[in-house]
Chain A
Amino acid sequence: MTYMIGDWELVIGLEVHAQVTSQAKLFSGAATAFGASPNSQVSFIDAGFPGMLPSINAECVAQAVRTGLGLNAQINLWSRFDRKNYFYADLPQGYQISQFAHPIVGTGEIEITLDDGTKKIIGITRLHLEQDAGKSQHDQHPSKSFIDLNRSGVALMEIVSEPDMRSPEEAGAYVAKLRQILRYLGTCDGNMDEGSMRADVNVSVRKPGEGFRTRCEIKNVNSVKFVMQAVEVEARRQIEVWESGEEVHQETRLFDTARGVTRSMRSKEDAHDYRYFPDPDLPPLVLDAGWVEQLKASLPELPDARRARYVAMGLTPYDAHVLTLDRETAVFFETMARGRDAKLAANWLTGDYFAALNRLKRDIADPPVSAEHMGELLDLIADKTLSGTIAKQVFEHMLAGEGAPGAIVETRGLKQVTDTGAIEAAIRAVMEANADKLAEYRSGKEKLFGFFVGQVMKAMAGKGNPAAVNELLKTMLAG
């Protein structure tokens, strides 16, 4: 199904800025932690002091290469840093160091899956490394602007897509999938609300079969939902412009999330002349092919591969999808399911466990019950120590922080009764108390079997092993 607004088709390309996960900045040793007090993570290099020089952080380079490999992209063994020159108060050097002409990563691709299950390949044009600027705060003082340089010099990866997306849903799925891959790789935390990941959204519209029309770029959109909204409202705006006989002008726009409209920021005519040229302080970045191979070999398993493996383990495609959405869940699942019934583990995790997380407002990265303990719980079910019903009770006690399931079963006496003598005694008592029902059963009203099961389980306070109860009951009821 092609997404259309009237008889207009949408063309969308995204530039995603992803902050590299690393201890230090791209060209200085200053720290990068989020939320530090203003100007507390700034070296003289980041502040552009006289005589200061950049020297590249190898870990940031490795992270960019890992990301490139995760996007099935070409790794350029020779790349170069350029200076993008412009004046602004939060740009201390008066230029941003970026890879304009020769990025570290070339073309790659991402496969997205839409809600109806359709898959689509979105091309990646390039990925390059660059420095972030500082942050200007214009609302702290009536006549002054405050500058926080903590972000100045932080390593960013700019990941540029081909204009391959055709609907808000595709754009949203692309950002979500990219974020998922980055998180799996551990190369960006993907926290869009903290600014670790933000998207510039390029939108144009056209009649099917046409070439591209003029696009507009919507800057710094910071959630998947806003990306989808921005695409839609911008496309509708452009369609209105074209349909009223006007022309769309190339410009940079901002998405006003409160009002749900895009607003012009600057036109192409106002665009800076960035005077790009190779940064003479930095020799070309030359990578060793063997080093890239090492990084490739140590790459974690990515979501698509993991999902396929889960389906092969017998999980439903839906469960496999849910369990691979983020790496923490997948790792939790695998720890819990190791050497056990994968299907049972998946049911427990996606069922009771996720429900508990919701209820407690906790995250799987900070789990209320460990994967190891969940595994032990599965073991107690498997060896029939616990029935399903009792297991749920034990799980509640685990959530309450009472420790390992084995210990809870011991101290609370929740062990399932498999002692046939005890079950037989219970059955006899039930049969005596319900002589009328027994007669009806024996005269052919077999539906009453369930009634007897319920009575026996009740008499045993749920601890009776259901299989044993069933078996013994069948024999004894038959007389």
Chain B
Amino acid sequence: MRPTDLSLAQARLALDARQISARELTQAYLDAIAALNPRLNAYITVTAEAALTAADAADQKLAAGHGGPLEGIPLGIKDLFCTAGTRTTAASRILGDFTPPYESTITRQLLRDGAVFLGKLNLDEFAMGSSNATSAFGPVENPWSRRNDPDTRLVPGGSSGGSAAAVAARIALGATATDTGGSIRQPAAFCGVAGIKPTYGRCSRFGVVAFASSLDQAGPIARDVMDCAVLLRSMSGFDPQDSTSVEMVVPDFAAAVGRGVRGMRIGIPREYRMAGMPAEIEALWQQGIAWLRDAGASIVDVSLPHTKYALPTYYIVAPAEASSNLARYDGVRFGARVAGSDLTELYEKTRAAGFGAEVKRRIMIGTYVLSAGYYDAYYLKAQQVRALIKRDFDLAWQQCDALLTPATPSAAFGLDEKQDDPVAMYLNDIFTVTANLAGLPGMAVPAGLDGQGLPLGLQIIGRPFDEEGVFAVAGAVERAAGFSARPGVIA
């Protein structure tokens, strides 16, 4: 067994038993990155030297018997998290060589618990995209490929495409990610790995480059449900520096993974049965329902009537917030600057050169929907619909404890597909945006393969702050699915 074969939970045991050193484990990952990253492009920045130094420090702590819960665990960090002393790009040209002098709360907590950072992972520019194709540092390739079309390179999903691809190809043992409309769950599903977006407010957003503040929430992508539970515990917790983080005790999520679903009521939202949905997705969903029923859950048909408005609502709220959040990238204080003859020209040239097409599109949409005369018709209306979507869920929770849905409407698509049609691209988020709009925890678990041998995921949505319930259901699905397929590109 090679070191990169170990799951996080297994690596924890091996490190604690001194069967492997943190340095050996880290070196194995760095070697794998050197071998595979030139093709996958999952990392924007690899911090090999710092990783080995951190691994040595971890070995000393482990030897002294006071290692943290993640002591010596090599992780990749989505390049949206500010990391002190390491360039942070948000996959945008506009940040230039910006190197934050501060650490995001989440990465600070991971370091506190002993994690070793391998580097910064690729993503869609400012986390805007569903294919990782909008990155200024080039697309990420999905390590999976179609069985009968192995030469077509596939997208890893987005925006956390680097995170999902790195975990799937085993060039990171786990990864941080963020999810504004599905950016953890969709790439996790496309790459055959697990990922959870916790309840809005569970993890601090401090030090994470903002896309849409009321929707953004960080979470882990990892090899399995248990690894996600371990990582999420370290990432969670109240932070006085984020006014939207919630002061609540962080439960032992790992304890919930094996709890089982006996007696749980699992809701199946009928509005998620979309016209034109591939038969394989429908079949997988039915399979998931059967697994949970067999595991002792009762299945309840529920209705979330405003689901059809979720995507348009999301594509008003998210760009509106983004148009304002991205105003600070103006070339004045940090990042790239293109000189101009006056301030306005400096702004125009800097932002024209610094932002990619998708980011510009969303800034323009957002600016438009907030403009005088349009605010009521778009932004205000969208907020009203958002409240209705939230209420749909509140009512559903009277009938069930968690929801089971497909994670994505399709398997991973080709790097060249859907790139010319933004609306087709936006449809990727159809099953995932509702959890962001309602602030609910949602998790993607690999559950099967399509006819081409590509992974498909199921999504579990839970009550606010009931990540434990989500982990319990996800654990049950994972055990029933016994997903063991591996991508073609793997360490």
A residues contacting B by CB (< 8 A) are 44, 47-56, 83, 85, 87-89, 92-95, 145, 147, 273, 275-277, 280-283
Contacts and interface: CB of A to CB of B under 8 A. Distances in A.
A92 B244 contact: no
A377 B466 CA distance: 74
Given A273-B371, A280-B213, A50 B324 contact: no
B375 A50 contact: no
Given A51-B104, A92-B328, A281-B243, 4 more contacts: A51-B208, A94-B326, A275-B367, A277-B324
A55 B241 contact: yes
Interface of B is mostly: loop
B98 interface: yes
Given A48-B328, A280-B213, A55 B370 contact: no
A85 B370 contact: yes
A60 to B, nearest CB: 14
Contacts, number: 100
Interface residues of B, number: 43
A283 B330 contact: no
Contact of A273 (B208, B240, B347, B372): B372
A277 B244 contact: no
B370 A275 contact: yes
Given A277-B370, A281-B243, A51 B379 contact: no
B213 A281 contact: yes
A56 B370 CA distance: 25
B82 A53 contact: no
Nearest to B328: A48
Contact of A275 (B88, B104, B324, B333): B324
B371 A51 contact: no
B327 interface: yes
Interface string B190-212: 00000000000000011111101
Given A92-B332, A94-B330, A277-B375, A83 B324 contact: yes
A139 to B, nearest CB: 16
Given A87-B327, A87-B347, A53 B205 contact: yes
30 contacts: A44-B101, A44-B102, A48-B328, A49-B328, A49-B334, A50-B100, A50-B334, A51-B82, A51-B100, A51-B104, A51-B206, A51-B209, A53-B205, A53-B241, A53-B243, A54-B243, A55-B240, A87-B330, A88-B343, A94-B326, A94-B328, A95-B327, A273-B371, A277-B320, A277-B321, A280-B213, A280-B214, A281-B213, A282-B244, A283-B244
Contact of B333 (A48, A51, A83): A48
Contacts of A53: 205-206, 210, 241-243
A264 to B, nearest CB: 20
Interface in B367-407: 367, 370-372, 375, 379
A51 B100 CA distance: 10
A448 B333 CA distance: 87
Contacts of B206: 51-53
A350 B104 CA distance: 60
A94 B323 CA distance: 10
A273 B373 CA distance: 10
A83 B243 CA distance: 16
Contact of B100 (A49, A93, A95, A273): A49
